[in-house]
Amino acid sequence: MNNTWHFLREFESKELVKQYIKKKYQYTITTEKALEISSAFKQGRSYFESSLNSDISVKPLLQYYGVVALSRGLILILNKTARENTIKPSHGLKICNWSTIVKTKKLENIKVKTSSGTFRELIEATKNISYFRGKSNYINWESEFDIEEKDFELSLKELSYSFPDLKKSIESWLGLSIPSTMIESLSCENDKVEIGIRDITFIKEIFPDDLYPNLNVKDGDYQKIVSYESNNWPNISQKWESSFKINGDPYLQPPFTGNIFLNDIGKMFATTFIFGTISRYYPTTWMNVTNGIENDRILPFAINYMDFIQEKYPNIILDFIDAPYNSTEK
């Protein structure tokens, strides 16, 4: 287990949970709610510990259960009125095109549809905010997106674009260059956004005309400056490790189909749900992948993704626990 758990273990103590809530939010929670929070964090850690040494046949499922437990604990912290028995037991996501996937064998086209449940409650509790480390190992700015009121669909292929740390294995799996580019600089003043990027290959996909009709691109000193008038960020995901290892870099990618924007914790939750669901409800497909019988080109990405989530999901939970950040630019 990584060092993040050393900090998250504090939330396994009901007394420390009560102390944290009182100090940070200036109100007192009942011992019963503190127990609910600490139970969620204990269970989350247990699932993550179990997944470390589990067989690959069940690893995605155990990891997803850990993600759900930590997410429920975070919801209980961020939502003052939430209780264990008021958080909906449903996942809030469902694979909606499995019959098509069985025929085509293209796992990248798996689609999940949202509904009422933990996924939506997580997005609402986190206010669809992402915290970023921009050329830093500390959080120094954030983005906040509108929360979609209607149900929507997400594909595994589009979700995979959201993990720039795994770019090489994603491109090997899909056999294409993913539409993503690193942010070199960023500013927003008087509703004018300026973003510096070096690679404009996918600029039309990242900034679709219907969302950014007045997009302007000009040459900078060592980069292209993309600017538009709006108070909305484009779709951004965190790369957690750069060439300097401990420093992160934000990356741009296209909005999801339907011009949906989702924060990083939501992207992680949805992708982990997909792999957990395949291993739980469609074990033959998962065994075929892991045994190299069929569709095994996704396997390196799947394994790398699970390693990534094992470390980063607890980390992103801690990011929300430690928020807000005084130096964060919005």
User: SS3 letters for 131-155?
Assistant: EECCCECCCCEEEECCCCCCCCEEE
User: Tokens 């600490």 correspond to what residue?
Assistant: 38
Q: Is 328 a member of any domain?
A: no
Question: Under 8 Å CB-to-CB from 135, ≥6 apart: which residues?
Answer: 242, 247, 248, 249
Q: Is 161 a member of any domain?
A: yes
Beta-sheet strand order (sheet of 111-114): 93-95, 111-114, 153-155
Q: Is 192 a member of any domain?
A: yes
229-253: b (≥16 Cβ within 10 Å) or e: eeeebbbbbbbbbbeeeebbbbbbb
Q: Is 11 a member of any domain?
A: yes
Q: Is 149 a member of any domain?
A: yes
Q: Is 327 a member of any domain?
A: no
Task: Identify the bridge partners of residue 182 per DSSP, sorted by sequence position.
Answer: 251
Q: What is the pLDDT of residue 37?
A: 98
Helix (H) or strand (E) holding 108: none
Q: 218: left (phi > 0), else alpha (psi -120 to 50), else beta?
A: beta
Q: Is 315 a member of any domain?
A: yes
Q: Is 220 a member of any domain?
A: yes
Evaluate whether 121 touches 75 at the Cβ level (below 8 Å): yes
Q: What is the pLDDT of residue 42?
A: 98
Indicate the residue type of 5: W
Q: What is the pLDDT along the chain (330 residues), one digit of tens a residue?
A: 558 999 999 999 999 999 999 999 999 999 999 999 999 999 999 999 999 999 999 999 999 999 999 999 999 999 999 999 999 889 999 999 999 999 999 999 999 999 999 999 999 999 999 999 988 888 988 999 999 999 999 999 999 999 999 999 999 999 999 999 999 988 888 888 999 999 999 999 999 999 998 899 999 888 999 999 877 789 999 999 876 566 789 999 999 999 999 999 999 999 999 999 999 999 999 999 999 999 999 999 999 999 999 999 999 999 999 999 875 555
- Indicate the number of domains in the chain: 1
Rounded to 5 degrees, φ, ψ at 252 are -95, 145
Task: End-to-end CA distance of the chain: give it in Å, rounded.
Answer: 32
Q: What is the pLDDT of residue 226?
A: 95
Rounded to 5 degrees, φ, ψ at 218 are -135, 160
186: containing domain:
4-322
Task: Identify the bridge partners of residue 189 per DSSP, sorted by sequence position.
Answer: 192
| CA nearest to 164, candidates 193, 221, 202, 128 | 202
The number of residues making up the chain comes to: 330
Q: pTM here?
A: 0.95
Question: Under 8 Å CB-to-CB from 31, ≥6 apart: which residues?
Answer: 14, 18
Rounded to whole angstroms, the Cα distance separating 283 from 295 reads: 13
Rounded to whole angstroms, the Cα distance separating 269 from 254 reads: 19
| CA nearest to 81, candidates 128, 36, 135 | 36
CA distances from 69 to 48, 60, 74, 76 (A): 10, 14, 9, 11
Rounded to whole angstroms, the Cα distance separating 61 from 67 reads: 10
Evaluate whether 233 touches 128 at the Cβ level (below 8 Å): no
